[in-house]
């Protein structure tokens, strides 16, 4: 059954008119998503403490890419590039600041969060190009550290695509963390229908996001990841959520990776919804499962 605290969260969001996420145009939807993300923190919110945070830019294929670099409280000599969720249309460095702080401290890694270009102004492959460029920059800037790539939702799909590009470019990745990732641009999974309404992310939201990101669809295996040859890609943590439209495609990608001989740690999320890592500190089950996910990522980073 749905976690009772998430039932309360969903009822509250519905009563406040905060869902669905898509609100007409891309700019309107971005404003709504940002407001919703920041409102979860409340007036007394204190961010998780890290040793340092600084904003910078890295060279991208079409100009500078803004990044935010987090130094963990206890640096264990790793480096992780983090790609935020938001359907390739929404989200920024501020919306995902809490989860980046948690990743940094949990695995003792410098985290480079990437403000990649967004659709529809910049459809595929622009976000993936920026993700790959930032990952290459992280590898060079923090040479000698075990390197990871991580992301949630659309960012999880970008992380998976960037991991494939890294393999092909000879960039050595220790691990990838895919939090409820976008894997199937055709939305063919049964969970899209089963969980497509009433659980925060809707099937209609996902269809709209995909229309912005890959108008007309795509067969590119860096997006249609179940069609990708994943042989030799970095070991992966794949985290899914029971009441998520994307649950089945995440499960299927874990199986796809394993069948290709890739080490996989699949962490299901019973009772949880899509985006549960955005509710850390508000839903106990989200904190518990996030700790398990990050412990698995920590083990793969070595």
Overall average pLDDT of the 248-276 stretch: 98
Query: Structure pTM?
Result: 0.98
Mean pLDDT computed over every residue of the chain: 97
Overall average pLDDT of the 23-51 stretch: 91
Overall average pLDDT of the 222-235 stretch: 98
pLDDT of amino acid 40: 76
- Reported as a single tens digit per residue, the pLDDT across 79-113 is 999 999 999 999 999 999 999 999 999 999 999 99
All residues at 6 or more sequence positions from 242 whose CB lies less than 8 Å from its CB, including other chains: 2, 268, 269, 270, 271, 272
Share of the chain above pLDDT 90, in %: 96
DSSP alpha helix (H) spans, 201-246? 203-213
Query: What is the spatial distance between Cα 7 and Cα 42, in angstroms, rounded to a whole number?
Result: 19
pLDDT of amino acid 45: 83
pLDDT of amino acid 39: 87
Among 274, 108, 249, residue whose Cα is nearest residue 182: 249
Dihedrals φ, ψ of 241, to 5°?
-130, 140
Omega before residue 120 within 30° of 0, cis: yes
Is the pLDDT at 43 greater than 80, yes or no? Answer: no
pLDDT of amino acid 44: 78
CB 156 within 8 A of CB 103: no
Overall average pLDDT of the 272-280 stretch: 96
Query: What is the spatial distance between Cα 191 and Cα 243, in angstroms, rounded to a whole number?
Result: 8
| Domains of the chain as residue ranges with CATH | 4-40+48-301 (3.40.50.1820)
3-class secondary structure, 100: helix
**197/39: higher pLDDT:** 197
What token pair was written down for 11? 């009822």
- Reported as a single tens digit per residue, the pLDDT across 55-68 is 999 999 999 999 99
3-class secondary structure, 73: coil
Pairing of strands 264-267, 236-239: parallel
All residues at 6 or more sequence positions from 84 whose CB lies less than 8 Å from its CB, including other chains: 91, 92, 93, 95, 96, 113, 114, 151, 152, 155
Is the pLDDT at 28 greater than 80, yes or no? Answer: yes
CA 129 to chain centre: 16
How far are the Cα atoms of 67, 121, 146 from residue 60, in angstroms, in the given order? 11, 16, 23
Overall average pLDDT of the 230-254 stretch: 98
Query: What is the spatial distance between Cα 197 and Cα 20, in angstroms, rounded to a whole number?
Result: 9
Is the pLDDT at 41 greater than 90, yes or no? Answer: no
Model confidence band, residue 278 (pLDDT cutoffs 50, 70, 90): very high
Q: Which residue numbers are catalytic? A: 153, 244, 274
Is the pLDDT at 116 greater than 80, yes or no? Answer: yes
User: With the C-alpha atoms ordered 285, 288, 293, 296, is the resulting torsion angle positive or negative?
Assistant: negative
pLDDT of amino acid 139: 98
What token pair was written down for 220? 């590119």
Query: What is the spatial distance between Cα 196 and Cα 203, in angstroms, rounded to a whole number?
Result: 4
Overall average pLDDT of the 201-222 stretch: 97
Model confidence band, residue 78 (pLDDT cutoffs 50, 70, 90): very high
Strand partners, 176: 149, 236
- Reported as a single tens digit per residue, the pLDDT across 150-168 is 999 999 999 999 999 999 9
């Amino acid at each position: 059954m749905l976690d009772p605290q998430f039932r309360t969260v969903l009822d509250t969001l519905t009563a406040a008119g905060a869902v669905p996420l898509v609100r007409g145009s891309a700019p309107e939807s971005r404003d709504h998503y940002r407001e919703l993300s920041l409102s979860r923190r409340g007036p007394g919110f204190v961010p998780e403490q890290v040793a340092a945070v600084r904003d910078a830019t890295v060279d991208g294929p079409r100009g500078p890419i803004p990044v935010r670099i987090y130094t963990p409280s206890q640096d264990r000599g790793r480096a992780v590039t983090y790609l935020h969720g938001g359907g390739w249309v929404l989200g920024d460095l501020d919306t995902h600041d809490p989860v980046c702080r948690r990743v940094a401290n949990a695995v003792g890694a410098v985290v480079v969060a990437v403000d990649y270009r967004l659709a529809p102004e910049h459809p595929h492959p622009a976000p993936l190009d920026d993700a790959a460029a930032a990952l290459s920059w992280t590898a060079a800037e923090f040479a000698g550290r075990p390197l990871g790539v991580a992301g949630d939702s659309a960012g999880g799909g970008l992380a998976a695509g960037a991991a494939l590009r890294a393999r092909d470019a000879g960039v050595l990745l220790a691990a990838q963390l895919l939090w409820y990732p976008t894997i199937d641009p055709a939305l063919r999974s049964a969970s899209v229908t089963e969980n497509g309404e009433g659980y925060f992310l809707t099937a209609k939201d996902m269809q709209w996001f995909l229309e912005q990101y890959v108008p007309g669809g795509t067969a590119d295996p860096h997006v249609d990841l179940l069609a990708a040859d994943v042989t030799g890609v970095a070991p992966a943590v794949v985290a899914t959520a029971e009441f998520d439209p994307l649950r089945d495609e995440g499960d299927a990608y874990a199986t796809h990776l394993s069948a290709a001989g890739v080490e996989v740690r699949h962490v299901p999320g019973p009772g949880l919804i899509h985006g549960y890592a955005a509710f850390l500190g508000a839903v106990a089950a989200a904190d518990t499962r996030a700790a398990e996910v990050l412990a698995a990522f920590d083990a793969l980073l070595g």
